[in-house]
Structure 1
Amino acid sequence: MKNKFSIALAAAALAVVPATAALADGHDTAQVTIVHGVPGADGVDITADGAPLLEGVNFTDAATTDVPAGTYSIAVEADGEAAIGPVDLTFSEGGIYAVVAHLTEDGDLTATQFDVNDAEGISAFHTAAFPAVAIVAGGEIQADDLTNGNAAQIDAPAGTELPGVGVAAAGTTDLALEAGDVTIPADQRVLAFAVGSPDDETIQLVVEVVDITVEDEVDEEVDEEVEEEVEQPTHVDSGTGGLLNAGLPFWVAALMIMGALGIAAPAVATARRRS
């Protein structure tokens, strides 16, 4: 699903209206992970400033991409009619974000924008139609009473092995959703999103692994470009897989799967695990 989505994302970006060219190449970017966590809301279309951008986004589609820092006005259309928005979304330079279209605890449609820790570890996002939960690892509660629309952070150094990571009802360790054993990767963060609803048996985890060295990569790429201009015959693209230099409008891709736009400011619980 994710590979198919990434291909569709790139193809759609190439077909975007010329107005996106106004967002010139540069290094003032943010990193955004976007997740469509609304079951039964397949085929969502996204517009920006009234112009069509992307079509056919489905439940559990997810992607992480770089976007030029700034504020964008976007809206969601379903069956050809405006359903939600427009609303302004702001991404700051060097920031790491997650934006999730999801259900509230009561099953209503909403979306939440999260700040993501720029440290190695795991971020767990409660974006499912379910009461408060506990985040469990190694049979122990790492964060408890996490309510819908909020995130728990487990910071741990690279190489740390966290067995039996998952989600349980608040105050318990009996896993309802399991991510399995997780080894923390270097210079990356594991993002786990609980989405869906137990009422229609769509509740599940969507997992993304993201780079947390956005600013360092930007600085490295700038240094490489300067060095190339002075004396180097080759250039290595860093942090974007070369697509930024190919002229793809990444901010468009980042707006792809917001199935709802009532942005909420989340509270964040933090648990730190000793190495």
Structure 2
Amino acid sequence: MRTTTYAAGALSLAAVLAFAAPAQAGGWHHHGDDPAQLSVLHGVPGLTVDVWVDGTLTLDDFTPGSLAGPLELAAGDYEIAITAPDAASADNPVIGPVTVDLEEGGNYTAVAHLDADGAPTATLFTNDTKAPRNNNKGKLTVRHVAAAPAVDVLAGGEPVIEGLRNPDEATLKLKAGTISASVAAAGTTAPLIGPADVTVEGGKNTIVYAWGSLADGTLAAAVQVVDLNQGRGRH
């Protein structure tokens, strides 16, 4: 299984410079009293793209499996379009344009991915950042953004999430620790992705994306880690 792991808010300096600098140059990086945070995940196999926000090139030559952000944005509506690489403008998108509404203080991930039938699409997820009362617990969120039928998520060989469909998500509250997780077609146990060890950290939401295409043999997992905020946050 191919697994890519990212920590939202803790990207390497090189990644931050690569993705944040074009955003600042294009006017997409705004500061407010409580700005929204937006990350972008590219989950369309075999397609390098450019990402445009409100007509401004924001992410250039964005490759499959890559995650950008989080970027701080003023609350409001933004139009996101995804084009072929080196497009002169956002006028001929391969995905979108879609309008996203970002609330003040919200934490979001926009995902370019395949729908269940294999057509390119985009989904905006609101990341759950509300901390459990027990500081020793964290959250595990699984998002189905792959061209595949409904799936079950197994932990230790037993289903813990059942019948998850594209583009839905499910969240579990778990004790901090490492679990052996896999993704199987709904009602079965033969892994389509995994098994792989997934670390759930106290005070964090570990978000696992199942992306790619079952028919094309490109299923993979990407992992994003978002901090949970005691006493504030959205869920």
TM-score with structure 1 setting the length: 0.68
SS of the residue 1:156 aligns to = strand
Question: Are the counterparts in 2 of residues 30 and 214 from structure 1 also a CA contact under 8 Å?
Answer: no
SS of the residue 2:92 aligns to = strand
SS of the residue 1:8 aligns to = helix
Q: Which has the higher contact order (CA 8 A, sep 6+)?
A: 1
Amino acid in the other structure paired with 1:146: L
* Structure-2 change in CA distance of 1:35 and 1:57 (3 Å): same
**1:188 aligns to 2:204 (yes or no):** yes
Amino acid in the other structure paired with 1:36: H
- The one-character-per-residue Cα deviations of 1:135-173 (angstroms, maximum 9, x if unpaired) are 11122111111111011111124x2x3521121111223
After superposition, the CA RMSD in angstroms is: 2.6
Determine which structure has more spread, i.e. the larger CA radius of gyration.
Answer: 1
Supply the distance in 2 between the matched residues of 1:20 and 1:96 (Cα, whole angstroms).
16
Residue 200 of structure 1 deviates from its aligned partner by 2.5
Residue 52 of structure 1 is matched in structure 2 by: 57
TM-score with structure 2 setting the length: 0.78
* Structure-2 change in CA distance of 1:46 and 1:214 (3 Å): farther
Residue 65 of structure 1 is matched in structure 2 by: 70
Question: Are the counterparts in 2 of residues 94 and 214 from structure 1 also a CA contact under 8 Å?
Answer: no
* Structure-2 change in CA distance of 1:58 and 1:207 (3 Å): same
Residue 224 of structure 2 is matched in structure 1 by: 208
Question: Are the counterparts in 1 of residues 38 and 69 from structure 2 also a CA contact under 8 Å?
Answer: yes
Amino acid in the other structure paired with 2:70: T
Residue 179 of structure 1 deviates from its aligned partner by 5.7
Question: Are the counterparts in 1 of residues 96 and 122 from structure 2 also a CA contact under 8 Å?
Answer: no
Residue 9 of structure 2 is matched in structure 1 by: none
Q: What residue ranges of structure 1 are gaps of 5+ in the alignment?
A: 218-267, 269-275
Question: Are the counterparts in 2 of residues 163 and 182 from structure 1 also a CA contact under 8 Å?
Answer: yes
Residue 132 of structure 1 is matched in structure 2 by: 150
Alignment of 1:16-35 (within 5 A): 16-17=25-26, 19-20=27-28, 23=30, 25-35=31-41
Alignment of 1:119-268 (within 5 A): 119=131, 120-157=138-175, 159=176, 161-178=177-194, 180-213=196-229
Residue 36 of structure 1 is matched in structure 2 by: 42
Q: Which has the higher helix share?
A: 1
Residue 105 of structure 1 deviates from its aligned partner by 1.4
